[in-house]
Amino acid sequence: MPSSALPNADIIAGNPAIIPSGVGQTKYMLLGLGLATWMEFYTYDGVNLVLPDLAGTFGVSQDQASWILTTYISALLFSVPLSIWMAGRVGHLRYILGSTVVFAIASVGCALTPDFATLLIWQAIQGFAGAGLTMWWRASVYMLLPGPQRSGSLMRISVILYVATAIGLVFCSYVTDNLGWRLLFIPNVVFAAVAVRLLILHFPNVPRPADPRTLALQLLFCFEVRSLSERLVSSTPE
């Protein structure tokens, strides 16, 4: 496919990408990206909601419990620039799939964690994987789709993420009150399995970038760090 059919694709990825071949493939690819990123939004908001329950389970103070979110978001922010480098080296699809699988494994680890220190380790691993999820859903849209399709695609995934937050808060409250906070991590395994299947089938082949340090990716990185920082400030308990 000629690069002229892909506005700015050579800037974002270093080479023209192969866009999804049809409406159906694009729809399922966006759903896969949305479900993968759903895990990150859902888990962060859910853990933030149940911090008092976590503090009670492990016998720590509220201030100590806040280290759960601090550890997660610090690992995520540190890993955002690393995600650009890794996606360029191992391939975009492989990196997104790897981040999805690692996030799901870390979720199981959080559910089974025996003590507070181990939970912090699993939260750091989740933050490392979460960078690939929260970073590359938007980058994938810009990288794979021509200009006229980007706004609608971004809106569709954004709606999925807002729904993830709304449903996640209700679900986490109910599960924590009736069954225990450990079960709030288990839905991530289902999200990950469906997302991986959809992305394997519908995420197109993307050439590795000629220059992974392009200006477009640097600007995208700055935007993501700013939005993540604002999110941390707005959601961290007083």
Per-residue pLDDT at 211: 54
Per-residue pLDDT at 158: 80
Question: Inter-axis angle of helices 215-235 and 116-144, to 10 degrees?
Answer: 140
Compute and round to an integer the Cα radius of gyration of the chain.
Answer: 18
21-235: which CATH number, 1.20.1250.20, 3.40.50.200, 3.30.70.1400, 3.40.1280.10?
1.20.1250.20
Per-residue pLDDT at 231: 56
Phi then psi dihedrals of residue 22, to 5 deg: -155, 175
Q: Where are the domains of the chain?
A: 21-235
Residue 150 CA to residue 104 CA, distance in Å, equals 28
Per-residue pLDDT at 24: 62
Mean pLDDT in each 10-residue stretch from start to end of the chain (238 residues)?
Answer: 36 44 69 84 88 89 89 88 78 87 94 93 92 78 71 78 82 88 91 90 70 48 50 51
Per-residue pLDDT at 14: 42
How does DSSP classify residue 181? G
pTM equals 0.77
Residue 143 CA to residue 150 CA, distance in Å, equals 10
Alpha helices in the chain (DSSP H): 9-12, 23-49, 51-58, 62-65, 67-90, 92-112, 116-144, 147-178, 187-202, 215-235
From the number of C-beta atoms within 10 Å of its C-beta (0-12, 13-18, 19+), residue 231 rates as middle
